[in-house]
Structure 1
Amino acid sequence: MYPSETTFGPGQPERRNLSNDLATAVAAMIHRESLQPGDQLDSVKALAERFQVAVPTMREALRRLEAMGGVLLRHGSGVYVGDNVRRMVLPNPLSPKPTGGVLIELLEARLQIEPPIAALAATVRDPRGVGSMRSTLDEAQRCIAEGDEQLWLVNLNFHRAIAAAGGNTILAEVIDSIVFVHAEEQLEILRLHGDQERDFTEHRQITELIEEGDAQAARRAMAEHLDNVIQIVRRRLSD
């Protein structure tokens, strides 16, 4: 169930969940008003007033939706409904903070799914997906340099771009569904991992192998990357 606009204002949920709740509410508004991909929404300021939140808070929620393909933010133009809005499944805003066991299960599931997708991406090398991988790497580098908290969303976009580079829409939707349903878990994993530079370096290596068309090496690099994350998160959870 989506929260409505009346959820916000005085008595707001805690900051950790507010962006998720807002993103969910905006998605609900899009569905309720039968808006279609490409339709323009109100301005960020107008949406902030509608949901009774600060403009930066609304912008953060919209960027979360943009990372999931739910909306598109066009600089100097406005906010538009994204292509993925009709198949988005957003997390329950009342869900508790994810447990360590759930985080490990999520990573182990990704370890089974994503290495073969990386191999497929290296075989197909869909130009749009490869271009998106490069764009997200550039954006991740900027986030690291500037200390931008949106890095976690950019990293999720990187993994979505790999699926897109494989040219298989069903596999791309599988990765999307993981991103949509487990966004809070992904954020917690990034916080526990803590090593932004190492994460970026491993992402860049995977990108280069995919671009070179080395399917086996790309598969192996993705498996090693996710296994490294699992080991680090396990250690952090046991500290």
Structure 2
Amino acid sequence: MYPASAAHESGQPQRRNLSNDLASAVAAMIHRESLQPGDQLDSVKVLAARFQVAVPTMREALRRLEAMGGVTLRHGSGVYVGENVRRMVLPNPLYPKPTRGMLVELLEARRQIEPPIAALAATVRDPDGMESMIATLSEAERCVSEADEQLWLVNLNFHRTIAVAGGNTVLAEVIDSIVFIHAEEQLEILRLHGDERRDFEEHRHITELIVAGDVQAARSAMEEHLDNVIQIVRERLSG
């Protein structure tokens, strides 16, 4: 059943954002049942029945959690508790729909935070974080090629993996909170941006610089990337 914060008395989720509610409910279930990283959850089908939702809806919620490291979806194997479940920051299901001003403010905040994190990643190049960053970029390329609607979640995870590559768990949690709590704003930003290929190529360029250990160039590339997004979003909002 859903926790009180994500359900009506009938047990059905609030409809403002079903995927966020489900993500919160699954994370609450993991904590309530004292599950540990690596423990296997029920199948997607069983979880969907448990939470009284359609299988595609359940899968989308799990993908949101996967993007934050809360769960791991292994093809042909199942759903497992992820490494980050003990420090995950969950969204507020009653959070209001984002305004235009909120979208720009979020991007401007990221503009202040993420370039130094990219520079740190290029300096430290944590092996696990680097592997995750490269794998996420590869998954993004697949999503672009196949027009997979989950691209936006993969893109959010990409920015998170850069923080992980920096080897600083606090900074990784800061990015977690930005991209997960504000997931709906991020989805709207990506919709407004519209150019999936350009976004991917900029991510690829940032990755190459981090892998090469070019600290200043990685920082500058992240700044330029976010500046480009801010400019496009401003133009679309004022159009």
Given candidates 12, 15, 25, the residue that maps to 1:13 is: 15
1:23 aligns with 2:27: no
- CA distance in 1: counterparts of 2:139 and 2:119, whole angstroms: 24
Give the corresponding residue for 1:86: 86
- CA distance in 1: counterparts of 2:87 and 2:211, whole angstroms: 29
C-alpha contact (below 8 Å) 2:193/2:232 kept by paired residues: yes
- CA distance in 1: counterparts of 2:152 and 2:212, whole angstroms: 26
C-alpha contact (below 8 Å) 1:67/1:154 kept by paired residues: yes
Aligned-residue offset at 1:150 = 0.6
- CA distance in 1: counterparts of 2:195 and 2:111, whole angstroms: 19
Aligned partner of residue 223 in structure 1, secondary structure: helix
Give the corresponding residue for 2:190: 190
Aligned partner of residue 73 in structure 2, secondary structure: strand
Give the corresponding residue for 1:167: 167
CA RMSD of aligned residues (A): 1.6
- CA distance in 2: counterparts of 1:89 and 1:166, whole angstroms: 20
Aligned-residue offset at 1:91 = 1.4
Give the corresponding residue for 1:71: 71
Letter in 1 for 2:135: S
- CA distance in 1: counterparts of 2:5 and 2:80, whole angstroms: 20
C-alpha contact (below 8 Å) 2:43/2:78 kept by paired residues: yes
Gaps of 5+ in 1: none
Aligned-residue offset at 1:38 = 2.1
Runs of 4 or more off by more than 4 Å in structure 1? none
- CA distance in 2: counterparts of 1:33 and 1:2, whole angstroms: 17
Letter in 2 for 1:94: L
Aligned-residue offset at 1:95 = 1.9
Aligned partner of residue 36 in structure 2, secondary structure: coil
C-alpha contact (below 8 Å) 1:71/1:82 kept by paired residues: yes
What TM-score do the two structures reach when normalised by structure 1? 0.93
Aligned-residue offset at 1:24 = 1.3
Q: Matches of residues 55-204 of structure 1 in structure 2 within 5 Å?
A: 55-204=55-204
Give the corresponding residue for 1:45: 45
Aligned-residue offset at 1:4 = 4.4
Aligned-residue offset at 1:61 = 0.8
Letter in 2 for 1:82: G
* Matched-pair identity in %: 80
State the aligned residue count: 235
- CA distance in 2: counterparts of 1:7 and 1:197, whole angstroms: 41
C-alpha contact (below 8 Å) 1:3/1:28 kept by paired residues: no
Q: Which moved more, 1:151-160 or 1:164-173?
A: 164-173
Given candidates 2, 5, 17, the residue that maps to 1:2 is: 5
C-alpha contact (below 8 Å) 1:111/1:226 kept by paired residues: yes
Distance change >3 Å, CA 215–CA 100, structure 1 → 2:
same
- CA distance in 1: counterparts of 2:224 and 2:60, whole angstroms: 32
C-alpha contact (below 8 Å) 1:4/1:28 kept by paired residues: no
- CA distance in 2: counterparts of 1:165 and 1:183, whole angstroms: 21
- CA distance in 2: counterparts of 1:113 and 1:151, whole angstroms: 23
Gaps of 5+ in 2: none
**Residues 75-96 of structure 1, C-alpha deviations (whole Å, 9 max, x = no match):** 2222111121122222111222
- CA distance in 1: counterparts of 2:221 and 2:113, whole angstroms: 13
Q: Matches of residues 194-233 of structure 1 in structure 2 within 5 Å?
A: 194-233=194-233
